[in-house]
Every structure is written in structure tokens, then in C-alpha cells.
Structure 1
Amino acid sequence: MAASYRLGTVNACGPNFNPENAANAFHKAMKGFGTDEKAIIKLLSGHCNGERQEIKRIFKGMFGKDLEEELKGELSGHFLDLCLYLLMPAHHFDAWCLHKAMKGIGTKEIRLIEILSTKSNSEIQRIKTDYKKLFGQELESAVVSETSGDFRHILVSLVQGNRNEEQYIDSNIVRQDVKDLYNAGERILGTDESVFNKVLALRGTGHLQEVFKLYREEHQRDIEAVISSETSGDTKEAYLAIVKFIKDPPRYFAECLYKCMEGVGTKDDRLMQLVVDRSEIDLKDIGDKYMEMYKTALPTAVADDTSGDYRNLLVSLTNPK
């Protein structure tokens, strides 16, 4: 969906990877009185998700126990949650996060937006398959039951995974989309959200970048300003997320991380999920952008807003290896 940024903060060990040694190290860290949290942090942040899955398999074969269950008996709070997030298979993580955002009382709309507005068609299809496998329900059905109105419409459109991913850009369609967006927003009283929905959910990255550029040239307004004045609530946030991600993915996620930590209190679960999700994809790029935008290193910001072993693991994950 967007440009490929492949500089993460967590990398594979490569030829030096030894799952038996790692499994033994986990066992040693939890054996006897007390727990060696530093060793657990080093093991989790020092291996990529694929390696963690192999360590889990070997650990169970060596000791007859699930690594996750052993950690549950030794750890607690946000530190335990973050450890379990890191041990979850990467291809299940997005589906699990979406389910968590929709279960229980209230829906965490921001997590639905952050996930569904930033995935490629193939990633969306994988998430839908995993969601059905893990929770026995179609993702679209879950979204429909937990959202409403125009916000539901844009999420359902994104769940289809039908964005045009061809590289060719038709300038005639670009001009028509600019015209349609103007006619559906600034030109009329009220807003025709269906037009914004169609353009933002179906058009490709390069195409949308040209649409945003031409809109600015023809109407002297950034598309974000138009969306902010013409829409509201969760629908506005979803539209803005798509635009910001299309324009600059690291900047979008840097802003998301900042919002997790600004003000009183830290939105810990959102922060953990974002760090885990991007750690092997583009978290180094995000950290660089965070420094540029907020004049603070991302690990420093994390350290200032969290505490204990939870903080130490998060800091390790946000520091490039």
C-alpha cells in the first residue's frame, strides 16, 4: 500500500542463532527463587519473531512446558503482556489486536484505524484468514457489529482489501478524483462521505499522492484540512490516518507513538502493540522521524513515560540493534 521501509530495530540472529541455547537461557532465567528479568529482556529483544517461535517449540520439547505459561507464572502486569505479545506468531498479531480492540465494553476505534488503514491488500487478506481461524468469525462481521455510520463504511471498505496496487497512474482519473472530492466536500453544504470513502479506500499510493498534490494546487488547501473541516469523529480520524500514512508512513507512526505518551498517563497497550508490530518493519525509520518531529529520541521518550522491567524491554525494542 505504501512505500517500503524496511529498517526495523529487531533483526534475526542469522547463522549464530541457536534455539537450544536460547531455550536453556529462558529456563535458567526462571529456575529457582526469583526471575532474571534482564536475561528475559535480552532474549526477547535479541531475536526476531520467527526465531522466537522456534525457541518456543524447542523449549516445549526440552522441558515439556509452554514458554508462555512459564512466563505467566513468573511475571505480571505490562511486562508480562509485552512478553506475550512478542511471543505471539507475527502473522496472528494484527488479527489478535483487532479482536482485542472490539471485544468487551466499548471499541478501541483508534486501533482499528491504525491497523486497517496501513495494510496492503495481501496483508488484509491474511488478517481476515487469521481472524476467522482464531475467533471463528469473519472480520467484516465483527467490524459491522462493533461500529456504525460512515466510520463503519470506511472500515468495511478497507477490510475488502481492494486497493489498486498497480504502478501506472492515469492523470485523467487523478483529475477526476480531485474534482469529485471538491464537489463532495468544499463545494456543497454538508459532505458526501461516499466519495471520500471510494477514493481513499480504492486508489493506490502513487495515485493518491498525486491527488493530494493536485488538490492543493487547484484549491489552495491540503486534503487534511479539507477532511478536518468536512468530517468529524472516528470517520475523520480514519480518513486522516489513510492520508498521513500514504504521504509518509514513518511520520504517521511517529505521531501515533507520541499520542500514546503525551499528556497525563500512558496508553500502554496501544504503545506496546505499535512497538511490537513495527519493530521488525520500520521502527528505526519511525524513531528517526520521531527525533526529527519531537526533538527527543524514541527510546528516551519511552523511558520517561514507563517504568520497571516493562520500560526496559520497551526501550530495548525501540533501540536499533
Structure 2
Amino acid sequence: MSYGYQLSPTVVPWRDFDPRADAEALRKAMKGWGTDEKTIIHILTNRSNLQRQEIASQFKTLYGKDLIKDLKSELSGNLETLVVALMIPLPQYYAKELHDAMSGIGTDECVLIEVLCTMSNHEIRVIQQAYQAMYGTSLESDLKGDTSGSFKRLMVSLCCGNRDESFDVDPAAAQEDARALLRAGELRFGTDESVFNQILVQRNVAQLRQIFAEYETMTGHDIEKAVENEFSGDIKKGLLAIIKSIKNRAGFFAEQLYKSMKGIGTQDNRLIRLVVTRCEVDMEEIKQAFAQQYGKSLEDFIADDCSGDYKKCLLALVE
């Protein structure tokens, strides 16, 4: 993964992969009366995203049919949404989620924050390319048109994908940046959000951790408390997402998964997006963080919150 984070996936490429055999098995599972959901789930949750693309290609070659369309016609509800998400190449999936977040009335800022605040430069650029190809407009222009104020400036800055991605740490520069953040926030009347934007968007991960440590040494409290006190609304959520994902990436995604399931009703689209996008990256680490933070395993949370084949498919991806 980018930024030197450890890979700890729960879904890895299938060792004895045979796309033709998988395509034939999926065709058989969907042919005739009824649908064999068990086979569909078993195959698709045990193959990497790249392998699923090969299966779809084989399916079209063998039967002249679109695998995603066939899956859509055979499945329904949350299981359909989850399975279709598994079949889409990740850059296109992220682009679709961002586009959907900005389409129609209102904006789902949670999606913009979750994606743009946690991606590497390369990932952001690949998503931008997919977005442009799919919608004929740039991600940056849609962000500008759909957000406002300091939150818009943060999103546009992140969309540029210009973070320093070295692992160099300069303690003296970290002290200076910590002082700049203090002067821009707690030591003045009103907040100079541009300083927070500049430092949090551009500095490398190791340097930011040093800056956060310096800030805590200077003030006696962590930088999250300063952001909580100095900012409000979406800009506060965005800055906190950057800080939390820099300090503990797995912990940040564990919190997002928890929020998707806590309370009355499940935010299924959010849960699906998080599971689909993290299962090939760092889901093992996220599960450990989840259990530490909430005293209950992610699997148990899903089992209690979801049902039927949808639950089985989610559990297959996280286990």
C-alpha cells in the first residue's frame, strides 16, 4: 500500500486460478430455475479484483453475455449491490462512488472525506483518470461545483495529489510547523484554515506524525482537540480524517465501519464500499483495530447487523 503501510488483506489472488472454469461455474449457478447464490459467493469472494475481471472477460467470450448484467438479473437488494461492487475495477468503483456522492440534491461529504483524505498521490491520479473517462468531466471541477468554502479548498488541494511521499523526518521543520498550526488556531481569534490545509495536505506521513507529537509537547493535548475546538462542519470532519488516518490508518477505517453499523439501521452502501475497497489491502489490520476499539469483532458486528446471503458474502470477504 502507499505511504509504506503494511499490506494485510483478507482476500488474496486464488492460487489455482482458472477463469474459464469459474465462468462456467457462474453460468451454471445462474442458468435455469433459481440461483445458486452459494457458488456465486464462494467464487467471487475468493478471487482478487483482477481475477474477477478475467472471469468477466472469459464469460463474455464463452457466452457472449455481460457477467455483471447476468448477476444483476439473478440477484437483488444488498447482495446484488455488494456483488456488483466486487466486479467493478477499483479505480472505476471509487470514481462511481465519488460521482454518486455529488449527484442529485445535496452532497454525501462522508464519501469525499473517506476517499480523498486517505489516498496516495498515485491512487488519486488513477481515480481522476477513471472519473474523466466515465463522466467526461474532471473530478476537480465537480468538487469545485459541489462543495464550498474551506471544505472545497481542502478537497481541491487533496485532489491535486501532491503530498510529499518520502519518509524523511526533519525535527526542526516539524517544530516550526507545529508552532505555525498553534499560531493559526489556538493562539489567535478566528482560525487561519489555510495553514492547516497547507501542512496537512503536503507533508509526508512520517513528518506529520512528528508534527503531531511536537504539537502535543507544546500544548499538552493532541491536535485532534485543537481541530475539534477551532473548526466545525465538513472542514472539521475532513481535517480529523486526515489526522486520524495518518496516526492510525487501520483505526480510522475501523471507526468508519463501526459508524456504518451502529445505531438504528445500517448504512449498507458505506459498509459495502469499506469492505470491498479494504479487503485486498489491510482488512486484517482493520479487524484487529476494530476489536481493540469496540470490544467486539468486526465479524460479530456484521453477523448481528446483516442477514441472509448478504451477510454470508460480507463475512466471506472479511474472514
Which bin holds the TM-score, normalised by the shorter protein? over 0.9
Give unpaired runs (5+ residues) of structure 2: none
Partner of 2:186: 186
Partner of 2:6: 5
Q: Is the 8 A contact 1:2 1:245 kept in 2?
A: no
> In 2, Cα distance between the equivalents of 1:269 and 1:73?
19
Identity %: 44
> In 1, Cα distance between the equivalents of 2:11 and 2:21?
19
| 1:200-219 equivalences in 2 (<5 Å) | 200-219=200-219
Alpha-carbon shift at residue 257 of structure 1 (Å)? 0.3
Partner of 2:230: 230
| 1:26-175 equivalences in 2 (<5 Å) | 26-175=26-175
Per-residue Cα deviation, 1:243-292 (whole angstroms, up to 9, x for no partner): 00000110010001000011111010011001100010001110111111
Per-residue Cα deviation, 1:35-87 (whole angstroms, up to 9, x for no partner): 01111110110101011000000011111110111111111111111111000
Structure 1 pair 273/295, CA: closer, same or farther in 2 (3 Å)? same
Q: Is the 8 A contact 2:227 2:239 kept in 1?
A: yes
Task: Give secondary structure in 1 for the equivalent of 2:264.
Answer: coil
Q: CA RMSD in A?
A: 1.0
Give unpaired runs (5+ residues) of structure 1: none
Task: Give secondary structure in 1 for the equivalent of 2:32.
Answer: coil
Task: Give secondary structure in 1 for the equivalent of 2:165.
Answer: coil
Runs of 4+ in 1 over 6 A off after TM superposition: none
Per-residue Cα deviation, 1:97-124 (whole angstroms, up to 9, x for no partner): 1111111221110010000011111111
Q: Select between 55-64 and 290-299 the one with higher mean Cα deviation.
A: 290-299
Partner of 1:18: 18
Q: Is the 8 A contact 1:6 1:281 kept in 2?
A: yes
> In 2, Cα distance between the equivalents of 1:42 and 1:183?
55
What code does the residue aligned with 1:99 have? H
Q: Is the 8 A contact 2:3 2:165 kept in 1?
A: no
> In 1, Cα distance between the equivalents of 2:6 and 2:277?
14
Q: Is the 8 A contact 1:291 1:297 kept in 2?
A: yes
Alpha-carbon shift at residue 5 of structure 1 (Å)? 2.2
Q: Is the 8 A contact 2:164 2:203 kept in 1?
A: yes
What code does the residue aligned with 1:93 have? Y
> In 2, Cα distance between the equivalents of 1:50 and 1:35?
24
Alpha-carbon shift at residue 173 of structure 1 (Å)? 1.7
What code does the residue aligned with 2:5 have? S
What code does the residue aligned with 1:280 have? E
Q: Is the 8 A contact 1:2 1:249 kept in 2?
A: no
> In 2, Cα distance between the equivalents of 1:257 and 1:315?
13
Higher relative contact order (CA 8 A, sep 6+): 1
Task: Give secondary structure in 1 for the equivalent of 2:164.
Answer: coil
Q: Select between 203-212 and 160-169 the one with higher mean Cα deviation.
A: 160-169
> In 1, Cα distance between the equivalents of 2:146 and 2:306?
31
> In 2, Cα distance between the equivalents of 1:47 and 1:105?
37
> In 1, Cα distance between the equivalents of 2:94 and 2:312?
24
Q: Is the 8 A contact 1:131 1:137 kept in 2?
A: yes
> In 2, Cα distance between the equivalents of 1:233 and 1:90?
29
What code does the residue aligned with 1:58 have? Q
> In 2, Cα distance between the equivalents of 1:291 and 1:309?
24
> TM-score, normalised on structure 1?
0.97
> In 2, Cα distance between the equivalents of 1:2 and 1:230?
28
